[in-house]
Amino acid sequence: MPIYFDHNATTPLEPRVLEAMQPYLTGPYGNPSSVHRYGRAARDAVEAARAQVAALAGAQAGEVVWTSGGTESNNLALKGATAAAAATRVLYGATEHPSVLESAESLAARGWQVETIAVGADGLVDWPAFAAQLARAPLCIAALMAANNETGVIQDVARAGALVHGAGALLLSDAVQAAGKIPLDFAASGADLMSLSAHKLYGPKGVGALLVKAGVELVPLLHGGGQEHGLRGGTENVAAIVGFGAAAELAQQELEARAETLLALRRRLEAGLAALPGAAIFARDAARLPNTVQFGLRGWEGEALLMALDRRGIAVSSGSACSSGKGQPSHVLLGMGLPRDVAFGAIRVSLGKDNTAAEVDRFLAVLGELRLAAAA
Ligand SMILES: Cc1ncc(COP(=O)(O)O)c(C=O)c1O
């Protein structure tokens, strides 16, 4: 049986989510902006989903803006906030997802002062350096992810929020990987903007949300018919939004049980890796998502190990899905100060709610065989 260990790249659509979406894919539902009964039915479904997503994230329904996913949410937050601001300085964490760092770098090309926030070897923010950086010049917005997609490292967003607000700026937190895996509380998080994506929590691809606190000014990326309070024009993807809502509700109901299962599997995997000569877990001692382990195996380059595992029916990732296959070591590990050759060796296992202990054991057995093959 093939083994899927790449849930941080994407998760399978949960059958209960598909069931919730089905009527909106095939039924006689209208445009949510239409005033007739078909339109009103679609509007009701979109608003019910908004409440479900808000509940998962500890937000108000009115703070949820639908987007096409985490990438658009991060783009809208950074480009939207900077377009509406007077200060011309942006900071982002050294281990952020490319949708944050490329958005920020696109501003650099337009004359904005863009700097990275340094992290230590454990992937966590270097707080004294960050505080000094904040004091240096006026800031518009800083971006610090809730949890990293490669290492699973969980950042102290509330601490960052206090510092960033002290500097009179906004904080964006990319919670795409955190949502559904650890509790989220947008109200108390310290973030003014928070990104979410449905396909990382057993919902459909191509739908996400940006949570926006009241009073935060954004210039939209998409101008159109005034949907989403003018923040995101375009007819809503009703079925996908309904799916996101259903997935969020299930994630909220099952959060503790899922996290417990995942943590038990992660611990089993980590114990197996600790017994494997030449295996080293990255950011091992930092607080991490219950489902994520990134490690290197001496003698193996990450891409080669990924392919060897794929031939044996096991799907993992080398670094992030977005940067793998590019022949570049993970910027996350380089940002943490790891040497290039070590970063090149990275393999990420991201477990899912339906994985089993037997799958973890099989993976460890295959790794053991591959290690011996490499040593021979
Ligand atoms: C941390 C993080 N942010 C943003 C994204 C982008 O989300 P989407 O695939 O919905 O555009 C991802 C996806 O890999 C991610 O892991």
Per residue of the chain (376 residues), give pLDDT as tens.
Answer: 899 999 999 999 999 999 999 999 998 779 999 999 999 999 999 999 999 999 999 999 999 999 999 999 999 999 999 999 988 999 999 999 999 999 999 999 889 999 999 999 999 999 999 999 999 999 999 999 999 999 999 999 999 999 999 999 999 999 999 999 999 999 999 999 999 999 999 999 999 999 999 999 999 999 999 999 999 999 999 999 999 999 999 999 999 999 999 999 999 999 999 999 989 999 999 999 999 999 998 888 899 999 999 999 999 998 644 445 557 788 999 999 999 888 888 999 999 999 999 999 999 999 999 987 777 6
Give the full edge-to-edge strand order of the sheet including 64-67. Answer: 64-67, 208-212, 193-197, 170-174, 141-143, 89-93, 113-117
Write the single-letter amino acid at 247. Answer: A
* pLDDT score recorded for residue 29: 77
Q: Please tell me whether the overall predicted TM-score, pTM, comes out greater than 0.85 for this model.
A: yes
* pLDDT score recorded for residue 87: 81
Classify 194 as helix, strand or coil.
strand
Write the single-letter amino acid at 138. Answer: P
| 219 neighbors 83 (Cβ within 8 angstroms) | yes
How is residue 68 annotated by DSSP?
S
Catalytic residue numbers, as ranges: 322
| 352 neighbors 4 (Cβ within 8 angstroms) | yes
Give CA–CA dist 201/199, Å, rounded: 5
* pLDDT score recorded for residue 333: 94
Closest CA to ligand 1's atom 5? 70
Nearest to 216 by CA among 272, 172, 254, 180: 172
| Structure tokens, 218 | 């954004």
Give the position, in ligand 1's atom list, of the atom nearest the Cα of 145: 1
* pLDDT score recorded for residue 180: 98
Give the position, in ligand 1's atom list, of the atom nearest the Cα of 149: 16
Closest CA to ligand 1's atom 16? 149
Closest CA to ligand 1's atom 7? 70
Residue pointed to by tokens 């799958």: 359
Residue 66 Cα, ligand 1 centroid: separation in angstroms? 15
Give the position, in ligand 1's atom list, of the atom nearest the Cα of 321: 14
Residue 11 Cα, ligand 1 centroid: separation in angstroms? 12
* pLDDT score recorded for residue 321: 46
Give the position, in ligand 1's atom list, of the atom nearest the Cα of 99: 4
- On the CB side of 337, CA atoms within 13 Å amount to 10
Domain locations in the chain? 3-11+256-375, 15-250
| Max Cα–Cα distance, the chain, nearest Å | 71
Burial group, residue 173, by CB count within 10 angstroms (0-12, 13-18, 19+): buried
The topology (CATH level 3) of 3-11+256-375 is: Aspartate Aminotransferase, domain 1 (3.90.1150)
How is residue 235 annotated by DSSP?
-
Name the packing angle between helices 302-311 and 357-375 (round to 10°): 120
Residue 74 Cα, ligand 1 centroid: separation in angstroms? 9
Give the full edge-to-edge strand order of the sheet including 292-297. Answer: 279-281, 292-297, 346-350
| Structure tokens, 160 | 């960052």
CA angle 363, 366, 372 (to 5 degrees): 140
Give CA–CA dist 324/165, Å, rounded: 35
**Considering the domain 15-250, what is its CATH architecture?**
3-Layer(aba) Sandwich (3.40)
List ligand 1's pocket residues with C-beta within 6 A: 69-71, 97, 99, 145, 149, 174, 176-177, 197, 199, 208
* pLDDT score recorded for residue 198: 98
Residue 278 Cα, ligand 1 centroid: separation in angstroms? 31
| Cα–Cα distances in angstroms (integers) from residue 323 to residues 10, 306, 311, in the given order | 15, 14, 21
Q: Which helix (H) or strand (E) is 271 found in, with range?
A: helix 238-274
Closest CA to ligand 1's atom 4? 70
Closest CA to ligand 1's atom 8? 70
Per CATH, 3-11+256-375 and 15-250 having the same topology is answered no
Residue 373 Cα, ligand 1 centroid: separation in angstroms? 35
